[in-house]
Amino acid sequence: MPLELVIADDRSTDRTAAIVAEFARTAPFPVHFTVNPERLGYTRNFLAAALSCRGCYIAFCDQDDIWAPEKLVRVAAALARSPRQLDLILHTCSLLRGEEVDPEIFPAYLQRPGTFAPLELDPLCIVPGHSIVARLDLVELASRFLDLLPEGVFVGRGHDDLTYFLGTVAGTTEVLDAPLVLWRQHSGNTCGVPRSAGDSRPEVQPHLQFLRSHAAKWSALALALGELANNGDATYSSGLARASGFFESRARFFTMRGHVSDPAVAYGSRIKALFGAHLSPRSVRGSGRREGLRNLLRDLATLLLGPQRLER
């Protein structure tokens, strides 16, 4: 059973207040309901609601979520048996389409249970809020991180994106091996999981533009993380500083790859950039050997054949 339920109404025009009041009359736990004096948007509304909670851990919930009865029991057991402080507890969900449970488990990425140190999990994966239970301190950090991020740097910029990102780059994360939520999928989802057959491929960026945009994104993330490390909670400062260095390395990696693909750069400088990106012992080449080899071959082909030939 939760310590409390906190509901923040972001100036809705439906029957939210009446529904909450009816539920609160028989709920076996305290229900706190507030209406924002002005619209905050879903990210800041979630963060403000979370920061008003009394508990040490926050479990996010949307209107499309149906929690398994054992969700909080499983989370509490993970916290009790962990020998160290957990900042983030994650689990998967099952998709409910109409009256049928889809056999797909989402996100499949979280089907590897265990305890993970900072940067051992991919911090940029999409993990829905109902799959996240986070320390209140981490949510407070996410609120300040949002103010440091330039527009367009962080895809989504949702409360769940920010909390998951900071937890996986600077905290200790526990992944549970169970789908503990049913996520209803319907035509009115603000955010949902499309059927595989209906997925559309995103528009492909020109390669040089792709490299430059990633270099700028990683550099901005590194700067924001560094500022947060210098002015944030000491609990996370060392992890945030390491994460800042990691993303700065990623920025240099993509910057050098951009030099390789830029026909305006002198050929000798492009050769140096190729060595700097892929052969420097301090370079960050990607999330795995296969990706690193693919990037190396792509850049080598660009250098030998010319970027224009490969863009055709």
Instruction: Report whether pLDDT(12) > 80.
Output: yes
What are 137-156's pLDDT values in tens digits?
Answer: 999 999 999 999 988 787 66
CB 107 within 8 A of CB 125: yes
Q: 211-246, pLDDT tens digit by residue?
A: 999 999 999 999 999 999 998 678 899 999 999 999
- Domains of the chain by start residue, with CATH: 54-187 (3.90.550.10), 207-311 (no CATH)
Question: Whole-number mean pLDDT of the chain?
Answer: 89
User: Helices (DSSP H) in 152-288: which residue ranges?
Assistant: 159-170, 207-231, 234-261, 267-278
Q: What is the 3-state secondary structure (H, E, C) of 233-261?
A: CHHHHHHHHHHHHHHHHHHHHHHHHHHHH
Q: Is the peptide bond before 107 cis (omega within 30 degrees of 0)?
A: yes
Where do runs of H (alpha helix) occur along 82-193?
A: 136-148, 159-170
Can you tell me the distance from the alpha carbon of 222 to that of 206, in angstroms, rounded to the nearest whole number? 24
Nearest-10 crossing angle of helices 234-261, 267-278: 140
Residue range 245-296, pLDDT digits in tens: 999 999 999 999 999 999 999 999 999 999 999 886 655 545 567 788 889 9
Count of Cβ atoms closer than 10 Å to residue 92 Cβ: 24
Q: Is there a contact between 187 and 89 (Cβ–Cβ < 8 Å)?
A: no
SS3 69: coil
How sure is the predictor about 198, in pLDDT bands with cuts at 50, 70 and 90?
very low
